[in-house]
Amino acid sequence: MDVSQYLEIFIDETKEHLQSLSDNLMVLEKEPENKDTINEIFRAAHSMKGMAGTMGYKRMQKLTHVMEDVFSEVRSDNIKVTADLVDVLFRCLDALEAYLDNIMNSADEGTEDNEEIVNLLKKTLDGGASPEEETAKPAAGQESAEDKNESEDDQEKRKYKNFKFAEFERHAIIEAGEENKNVFAATVYVQENCLLKAARAFLVFKELENLGEIVKSTPSVQDIEDEKFDLDFSICVITEQNEEKVREAILSVSEVDAVYMEKLDTSIFEASASKEEETTKSDTKEESNATASQAAKAAEQKKAPAKAAGSKPVINRSVRVDLEKLDELMNQVSELIIAKNGLVSASEHDASLSSQNFTEQIEYLERITTNLHESVMKVRMMPIESVVNRFPRMIRDLSKKLGKQMDLFMSGEDTELDRTVIDEIGDPLMHLLRNSADHGLESTEQRIALGKPEKGSIWLNAYQDGNNVVIEVQDDGSGINVDKVRDKAIERGIVAPEQAQTMEDKEIVDFLFMPSFSTADKITDVSGRGVGLDVVKSKIEGLGGDIEVRTKKNEGSTFTIRLPLTLAIIQALMIELGEEKYAIPLGSIQTIEDVPIEDIKYVQNKEVIHLRGSVIPLVRLYGLLDCPPREEEPESLTVVIVTKGDKLAGLVVDNLIGQQEIVIKPLGKYIHVEKMISGATILGDGEIALILDANALV
């Protein structure tokens, strides 16, 4: 059977199960007796085993199968969770991630058998229960209904649906009994969040057809193909195989949550066959009514627990959409906005188009395009959780590797960012966290000597601030040694000794973001304070954001990343400089001021203005953008005050055109652009306006 069509679903679901395993193993390490966590890990391993088996990934199936066996014993209290076992399980997780990486790259899991990990798990199993206990213990998912730990819902599932067999079906079952074949009734439950129930049922049927003959299904085969069933269906199968083989075949299908089976006594069918010959039509009618009554009662019983669970959040309300399709949709929205801007521009310059009706239609089109843009942006937005959820595991591993005690505290994981930004921000955050763990936090001995808690703390906080998302990486370590950074900068000839002595600490710390700048005496394979920070800065600025750092000796450091919510369509202030038009993103603008010439002061030969208690440097854009200056200096200047974190700058412009929704168009890698230009936009009259990057100008 060709299962390649399910490869994309397999990859997505495996990623979800691996993340679930990672999260739950982190909990298990701290709470080894947590039954809910143990059950979650068992279910994840079980689901992955079935999925891998269905797709033909035998190595992956083997590893998850042994994991499932281990947690079956843990659930039965035959094996205790130890630190060594958790370490082995994390190695399993790494091996499974490696398998998935290979599958994503080549659709093949690779040749690594991970025999060492498998043997370690088997060794755990051998020491977990005696052979006598193993023999006496029922198979996983096959506990008796009287088991005190079994839920009422599980007991209810064991009450199999009564098959209503036709004459030829009863004879087939009787013949099977005469030939010493087994007849099993199985009720199969698929997971609640299963996307393709009919496909899963089809795979179950294919597995059972390889073992024998399917006599009956409830609901009918046609109804199952049409997905006209809830979360379960029943099958009667004739086979020479034993019950365990049949069970394994069903459970090998992914997204099968559970299967409950019983072996049918064929002698009952022989007795009922002779009895039915004497049954009257009225008896048949009465039996039919009774059966309908039982079915209705069973349906009500099944509805009851579902109703009780109504308070649970609705799951699986999302669909997976290829990012390229979203990009194409976004491009169409962008063109619509450009067309709208063209109509607005035409109505402003052509008196014949400025009628009230035309103006109303333009306003209506503007509302529609704005709403459409917002809707598309919401589709593209993803919680930052998808990036940061792997960091607790990373900090846990670094804690062991570096021999330091540390905790990671995260907040704002539900803060949303554009999918494009989400895909790019993971590596910079990882660099910053590794720096904090390796060089930010002191050793346990040093922390005790300084009167600090033995365990160091790292915080990762995310929150929305206007049209930006702010992500902070903070630690309570030793802070950055500013004097050491200053000395290194002087040694490398970056700054003169006299100039370095007059620089503020914040300016000195910014040297860390220069290429290959590091103060580390010893470079480790984890990180070096400064190593990689130039890459971090380049990546973040490439996303239209900025990064700054605050530090205090023996109290720690805070790296603050500020990113735009979107990279495609923004609100901007259109300005004129000479005969050229430029756009300044609205999110970077704090205020607009009219400044008299006589209010301009000079500090170290640089123009500044004093505004509401702040000294703000002026930036003359003429020289930076190579524009011819005005012939006569006006009596007052129009100054756009832009902000970057806690820094301010005043951009001197000629005229203000007004606020406008613009589409950011990249200029391409073949056009050399200074950092102050972040892109271009097409105006309503067809003109091109460059977009100024306020972060580079401050």
CATH number reported for the structural domain that contains residue 61 in this entry: 1.20.120.160
CATH number of the domain within which 494 lies: 3.30.565.10
Nearest to 500 by CA among 483, 517, 514: 483
Claim to verify: residue 559 and residue 599 sit in the same structural domain: no
Measured between its terminal Cα atoms, the distance across the chain in Å is 62
Residue that is last in its domain, among 88, 105, 136? 136
What's residue 554's pLDDT?
A: 86
Tens-place pLDDT, residues 207-266: 898 898 988 888 888 788 877 888 889 999 999 999 999 999 998 888 888 898 888 887
What's residue 177's pLDDT?
A: 87
Claim to verify: residue 621 and residue 559 sit in the same structural domain: no
**Helices in 419-577 by DSSP H: which ranges?**
419-435, 444-449, 482-491, 497-502, 505-509, 533-542
Is the pLDDT reported for residue 269 higher than 80?
no
Spatial separation of the C-alpha atoms in residues 189 and 192, rounded to whole Å:
9
CATH number of the domain within which 675 lies: 2.40.50.180
Spatial separation of the C-alpha atoms in residues 474 and 409, rounded to whole Å:
10
Q: Are 563 and 544 in contact (CB under 8 A)?
A: yes
Out of 24, 114, 182, 435, pick the active-site residue: 435
> Catalytic: 68?
yes
Domain that holds residue 241: 152-277
What's residue 146's pLDDT?
A: 38
Tens-place pLDDT, residues 186-197: 999 888 777 778
- Helix then strand then coil, % of the chain, to nearest 5: 50, 20, 30
Claim to verify: residue 378 and residue 388 sit in the same structural domain: no
405 CA to centre of own chain: 27
> Catalytic: 424?
no
Spatial separation of the C-alpha atoms in residues 489 and 518, rounded to whole Å:
10
Number of Cβ within 10 Å of residue 619's Cβ equals 20
What's residue 474's pLDDT?
A: 93
Confidence of residue 669 (pLDDT cuts 50, 70, 90): low
What's residue 473's pLDDT?
A: 94
Q: What's the total number of domains in the chain?
A: 5
Spatial separation of the C-alpha atoms in residues 326 and 333, rounded to whole Å:
10
Spatial separation of the C-alpha atoms in residues 435 and 535, rounded to whole Å:
13
What's residue 640's pLDDT?
A: 92
Spatial separation of the C-alpha atoms in residues 582 and 694, rounded to whole Å:
12
pLDDT (average), residues 494-512: 85
What's residue 89's pLDDT?
A: 92
Question: Could you tell me if residue 302 is inside a domain?
Answer: no
DSSP state, 619?
Answer: E
Is the pLDDT reported for residue 106 higher than 70?
yes
Claim to verify: residue 469 and residue 598 sit in the same structural domain: no
Confidence of residue 476 (pLDDT cuts 50, 70, 90): very high
For the chain, what percent of residues have pLDDT higher than 70? Answer: 81
> Catalytic: 435?
yes
What's residue 406's pLDDT?
A: 92
Claim to verify: residue 249 and residue 396 sit in the same structural domain: no
Out of 46, 65, 373, 431, pick the active-site residue: 46
Question: Measured at the alpha carbon of residue 104, what is the angle toward residues 103 and 107, in degrees to the nearest 5?
Answer: 45
Query: Is the pTM here over 0.75, yes or no?
Result: no
Out of 40, 68, 73, 548, pick the active-site residue: 68
Confidence of residue 304 (pLDDT cuts 50, 70, 90): very low
Q: In degrees rounded to 5, what are phi and psi of residue 111?
A: -115, 0
What's residue 560's pLDDT?
A: 92
DSSP state, 514?
Answer: S
What's residue 677's pLDDT?
A: 82
User: Chain-wide mean pLDDT for the chain?
Assistant: 79
Token look-up 């063109």 returns 335
What's residue 9's pLDDT?
A: 82
Claim to verify: residue 521 and residue 590 sit in the same structural domain: no
Claim to verify: residue 99 and residue 109 sit in the same structural domain: yes
Claim to verify: residue 647 and residue 534 sit in the same structural domain: no
pLDDT (average), residues 46-68: 86
Confidence of residue 92 (pLDDT cuts 50, 70, 90): very high
Claim to verify: residue 241 and residue 328 sit in the same structural domain: no
What is the side-by-side strand order in the sheet with 556-564? Answer: 406-411, 456-465, 468-475, 556-564, 546-552
Residue that is last in its domain, among 110, 136, 162? 136
Number of Cβ within 10 Å of residue 633's Cβ equals 8
| SS3 state at 332 | helix
For the chain, what percent of residues have pLDDT higher than 90? Answer: 12
Instruction: Please indicate whether residue 140 or residue 56 has the higher confidence score (pLDDT).
Output: 56
pLDDT (average), residues 1-8: 69
What's residue 460's pLDDT?
A: 94
